[in-house]
Structure 1
Amino acid sequence: MTDTAIAWDTYSRQRPERRQRNARGETTWFNWTQYPDHGPGVELIEVGAGGRVLDLGCGKGGNAAHLAATGARAVGIDVSPVQLRAARERWGQMPGLELHQAEAVAYLQETGETFDAVYSVYGAAWFTDPARLLPAVRERLRPGGRLVFSQRPPVEGCYGCQASYIPRGPDEDPLVVKRWDYEPPVWEQLLAEHGYMDVRAAVLPAPPGPRTVGTLIVSARA
């Protein structure tokens, strides 16, 4: 497999910057899906002002910045220096926001902090073995704290550890990283086996139009 920091640095350079405002004219907002201005928002996390929240794979920082703007204490981690540089350039002066370069499980195992919620939007929860990630998250959640993550639904028949390809130049082989794909009932079973409660997993349909791939959203409580 490709070194993950190199892979996500490459991915970051291919992604457009977050818009300056969303469809409602807001300068910060929360988006769980791959489509702009679609689906639920920060209410899934159930954390208000003063709550401590961890973003696993924060990318360019937009979701974590929105939480900080609402008064939460938001920590974003990512393995990619390029992603974090973009996050710091845009959001680095946001009060209540911390950004760190770290691998998800290593950070969870090394930090002494606990959190009211841990979330991942197409981030580390998709690209980390759940056998390692789920117990590590649960150890850092306060009683009743929420774990919520979103990712693409699995391709039918392709479950478990899969290869995810990040394209490069026309004469270069793509970079390869691992991801973990399961159907909603399997995610519910995995989380329950690791001691989570109130587990829910479902696919949110794509918005109207030519796009057909929905978004898998999974939530649970410690």
Structure 2
Amino acid sequence: MNARGDATWLNWTQYADHGPNESVLGHVAGRRVLELGSGSGSNLAHLVTLGAVGLGVDVAPAREAVARERWGDLEGLEFRTAEAAAFLSETDEAFDVVLSVFGAVWFIDPETLLPLIRARMTSGGILAFSHLPAGSRSPRSGKEGTRHDHSPGVWERLLADHGFADVSVSVIDPPEGEAVGTMLVRAAAV
């Protein structure tokens, strides 16, 4: 249950109700939040019920339709169908928080995406994203594209090179009985 008593959640990992909560992002009330790869909208809806103003961007029109059906009546929440890099290149909106849970940051070349994200963030804003740890599965090409499974050190360098500081990278252990953890990365825009 969130602050309003609604059954919403934020899952950084691939396992329901496992790992840290929204506190990774700091205080979200009154902040403009962008989720890149918002899927069904559940993570972003949770943040909006805590007082954030949220925009979810997903490349799949079907995902936007599901998100609108599920969360469309939630004030302060909007969904759009767009490819993340194209959206960031075309918008003039600024965001205090950008998150991506197994989303765009994992699938788009960071040399392309990170400068676009940083350009749309307010100073001191938070970028947080999660994906499988490097080496936990082989990169895949084709219809889904290549996944950018970088090591913690590579993510630290990439983020620093593109205007982020206070970078923290951790691997969340999987729950008992599961084999693969989740890499969680957090950085502040400077």
Normalising by the smaller structure, the TM-score range is: over 0.9
- What 5-or-longer segments of structure 1 have no aligned partner? 1-20, 166-174
1:202–1:216 Cα contact (<8 Å) kept: yes
Aligned residues: 187
Partner in structure 2 of residue 183 of structure 1: 151
CA drift at 1:48: 2.4
Q: Name the stretch that deviates more: 192-201 or 54-63.
A: 192-201
Which residue of the other structure, out of 78, 92, 95, is the alignment partner of 1:112? 92
Larger Rg: 1
Q: Share of identical aligned residues, percent?
A: 50
Correspondence 1:214 to 2:159: no
Change (3 A) 1:145 1:186: same
- Give the one of 85, 92, 99 matched to 2:65: 85
Task: Call closer, same or farther: CA 1:156–1:65 in 2, change over 3 Å.
Answer: closer
Give the Å deviation of 1:193.
Answer: 1.3
Query: Within 1, Cα distance between the matches of 2:46 and 2:137?
Result: 36
Are 1:47 and 1:116, in contact at CA under 8 Å, matched by a contact in 2? no
Aligned partners of 2:99 and 2:79: how far apart in 1? 15
- Per the TM alignment, residue 45 of structure 1 is displaced from its structure 2 partner at its CA by 1.1
Q: TM-score, normalised by structure 1?
A: 0.80
Give the Cα–Cα distance (whole angstroms) in 2 for the partners of residues 61 and 80 of structure 1.
Answer: 12
Structure 2 unaligned residues grouped into runs of 5+: none
Give the RMSD, CA atoms, in angstroms: 1.9
Task: Name 1:70's counterpart in structure 2.
Answer: 50
> What is the CA distance between 1:150 and its match in structure 2?
0.2
Which amino acid counterpart does residue 70 of structure 2 have in structure 1? Answer: R
1:58 is matched with which residue: 18, 28, 38? 38
Q: Return the match for 1:163 from 134, 140, 143.
A: 140
Q: Contact (CA 8 Å) 2:136, 2:180: kept in 1 or not?
A: no
1:15-164 aligned at under 5 Å gives the runs 27-155=7-135, 162-163=139-140
Identify the residue that residue 167 of structure 2 maps to in structure 1: 199
